[in-house]
């Protein structure tokens, strides 16, 4: 049996044993968590002489994640804030973003080529803007988490233009005071509950004063403003916003992510929108705009990093570091459909490069590939703008090759058909592969900022529990092998508004669409045991 198959089998068996062992972390008393070993405790069952798994394996089946490892859940502002049960719409609803207009305007809702297919207005969301304290109670008390990923909404903080406005006090004067105060209250609530925030500064949405997403969908030639296509303006303003936020909340936050999944803006926004994913302005085959926006988001990330580093000068958590700034990026292994086919192998390499590495190579190593052809130039102003990668991991890509580029106007490396690629293969080992690759190729640590196995919300949640444990088993194995992985955030804490698809059931907690009541799904008990027991290293399967 090959080393790969041997290790895969061992990890699967380990995951199965953990599913059984999770029930043994507590006594029959549901409150027995108080008796669990603390982060610095030793269960005295280590057998160092016979321990082949390293210091983090207690020798009895225990998987001890490192001290300080963050377990949490991930959220984004637009997806969970709206839909408040009692706050006025003026206070709860963020009507100033391109995404809000995109999912409410008849010009896009009634246009099948915009793919607003969910049938739900954003105002049916779970109302986290009002209910955040109870949701954070669930994260801290019921899930035993010590971290929480959240997003700030640029359009809430600055519903009107900041073009021409400079200086923190002047920006504060044009900011929405209630929104600024609200996020201070959220950070205070996180601190009270022992939840370390990882803050996403921009999770797709842009203010309408910088992007007319509907107008650009209807008439791109004559629309204005054009968001990331107006590269100079948008880069300057998003960096200004990042610097303002870093100064305003720097004594409450140390972990910052600039952007969430840049390709999820570029691909469905300017190349191929679809039912499964659309993004304003939802245009087809705009090759020049695709490249422009990709370059703009690379530049925007770098300037946001500079702004955060310059303005967050306070060590919020006392670890001696004022700030760490990364990007949240969805990465996937890519494999040939036929491993014996040279075309398929080359196609897999090309997919892997275009999907995973173009952006990350630029902001970590300064290798900028403007033409998406594999040829790079070094740019000092982009290099070393990455303190960590927030890895969103879901699935593996399987690809068949072509003897030519399907879209040579976009890239000579498009030697595959993206429409026929399989992009949803559940492959838990991939989380290990991507974490190790980030460490080795980019030289930065990793936080898992999103992960789940629910490609279809109708999937059985029992399957999801197994997938959670398999992923964490591979993640532990990566750490045991020396990978620098510092946290895991499950997507998502609560059911959320899944962009053009409307409300979806991806949450650890189900949300009643009418009452907004939260109900824990079965997976909550499993994840609590992992956060409370794997993290503490006292599980005995």
Give the 3-state secondary structure of 383-397.
Answer: CCCCCCEEEEECCEE
Query: What's the pLDDT at 456?
Result: 55
Strand partners, 416: 401
Active site annotation includes 261: yes
Alpha carbon distance 96, 93 (integer Å)? 9
SS3 at position 431: helix
Q: Residues 438, 439, 444, 450: what is their CA dihedral angle, to the nearest 10 degrees?
A: 50
Flag whether pLDDT at 376 surpasses 50: yes
**179-203 average pLDDT score:** 99
CA–CA dist 293, 269 (Å, integer): 10
The β-bridge relationship of strands 334-336 and 147-151 is unpaired
Does this model's pTM top 0.85? yes
The two structure tokens encoding residue 114: 């915009």
Higher pLDDT, 25 or 357: 357
Q: Which residue in 81, 261, 299, 532 is the catalytic one?
A: 261
Mean local confidence (pLDDT), 208-229 = 99
Instruction: Label residues 109-139 b or e (16+ Cβ within 10 Å = b).
Output: beeeebbbebebbbbbbbbbbbbbeebbebb
Counting Cβ atoms within 10 Å, is residue 65 exposed (0-12), middle (13-18) or buried (19+)?
Answer: buried
Q: From CA 260, how far away is CA 328, in angstroms rounded?
A: 5
Distances in whole angstroms, Cα of residue 371 to Cα of each of 226, 229, 357, 362, 416? 21, 16, 14, 13, 18
Does residue 29 register a pLDDT over 50? Answer: no
Which of 223, 190, 227 has its CA nearest to residue 207?
227
| Cβ-contact 479, 56 below 8 angstroms | yes
| CATH number at 52-329+353-394+421-534 | 3.20.20.80
pLDDT per position as a tens digit, 309-328: 999 999 999 999 999 999 99
The yes-or-no answer on residue 91 being catalytic is no
Give 3-state DSSP helix, strand, coil % of the chain, rounded to 5.
40, 15, 45
The single residue of 252, 299, 450, 470 carrying the catalytic annotation is 450
Strand 446-451 and strand 485-491: the pairing is: parallel
């Amino acid at each position: 049996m090959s080393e790969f198959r041997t290790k895969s089998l061992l990890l699967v068996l380990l995951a199965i044993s953990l599913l059984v062992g999770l029930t043994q972390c507590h006594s029959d008393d549901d409150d027995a968590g108080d008796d669990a070993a603390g982060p610095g405790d030793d269960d005295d069952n280590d057998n160092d002489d016979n321990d082949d798994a390293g210091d983090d394996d207690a020798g009895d089946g225990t998987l001890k994640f490192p001290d300080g490892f963050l377990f949490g859940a991930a959220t984004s502002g637009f997806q969970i804030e709206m839909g408040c049960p009692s706050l006025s719409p003026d206070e709860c609803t963020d009507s100033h973003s391109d995404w809000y207009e995109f999912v409410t305007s008849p010009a896009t809702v009634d246009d099948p080529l915009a793919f607003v297919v969910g049938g739900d207005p954003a105002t049916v969301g779970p109302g986290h803007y009002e209910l955040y304290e109870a949701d954070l109670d669930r994260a801290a008390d019921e899930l035993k988490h010590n971290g929480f990923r959240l997003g700030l909404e640029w359009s809430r903080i600055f519903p009107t233009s900041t073009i021409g406005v400079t200086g923190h006090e002047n920006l504060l004067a044009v900011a929405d005071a209630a929104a600024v105060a609200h996020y201070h209250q959220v950070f205070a609530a996180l601190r009270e509950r022992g939840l370390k925030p990882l803050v996403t500064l921009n999770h797709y949405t842009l203010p309408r004063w910088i992007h007319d997403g509907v107008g650009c969908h209807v008439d791109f030639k004559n629309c204005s403003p054009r968001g990331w296509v107006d590269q100079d303006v948008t880069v300057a303003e998003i960096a200004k916003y990042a610097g303002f936020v870093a100064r305003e909340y720097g004594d409450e936050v140390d972990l910052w992510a600039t952007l969430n999944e840049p390709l999820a803006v570029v691909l469905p926004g300017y190349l191929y929108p679809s039912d499964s994913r659309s993004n304003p302005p939802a245009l087809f085959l705009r090759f020049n705009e695709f490249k422009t926006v990709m370059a703009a988001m690379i530049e925007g990330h770098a300037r946001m990093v500079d702004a955060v580093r310059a303005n967050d000068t306070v060590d919020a958590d006392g670890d001696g570091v004022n700030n760490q700034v990364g990007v949240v990026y969805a990465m996937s292994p890519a494999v040939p459909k036929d491993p014996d086919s040279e075309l398929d192998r080359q196609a897999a390499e090309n997919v892997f490069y275009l999907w995973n590495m173009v952006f990350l190579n630029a902001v970590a190593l300064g290798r900028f590939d403007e033409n998406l052809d594999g040829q790079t130039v070094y740019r000092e102003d982009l290099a070393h703008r990455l303190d960590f990668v927030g890895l969103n991991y879901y699935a593996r890509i399987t690809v068949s090759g072509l003897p030519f580029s399907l879209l040579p106007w976009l890239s000579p490396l498009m030697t595959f058909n993206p429409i026929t690629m399989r992009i949803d293969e559940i492959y838990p080992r991939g989380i290990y592969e991507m974490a190790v690759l980030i460490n080795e190729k980019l030289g930065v640590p990793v936080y898992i900022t999103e992960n789940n196995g629910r490609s279809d919300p109708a999937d059985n949640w029992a399957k999801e529990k197994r997938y959670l444990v398999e992923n964490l088993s591979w993640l532990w194995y990566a750490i045991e092998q020396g990978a620098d992985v510092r946290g895991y955030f499950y997507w998502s804490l609560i059911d959320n508004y899944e962009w053009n698809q409307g409300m979806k059931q991806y949450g650890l907690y189900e949300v009643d669409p009418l009452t907004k009541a939260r109900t824990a799904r079965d997976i909550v008990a499993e994840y609590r045991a992992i956060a409370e027991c794997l993290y503490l290293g006292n599980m005995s399967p």
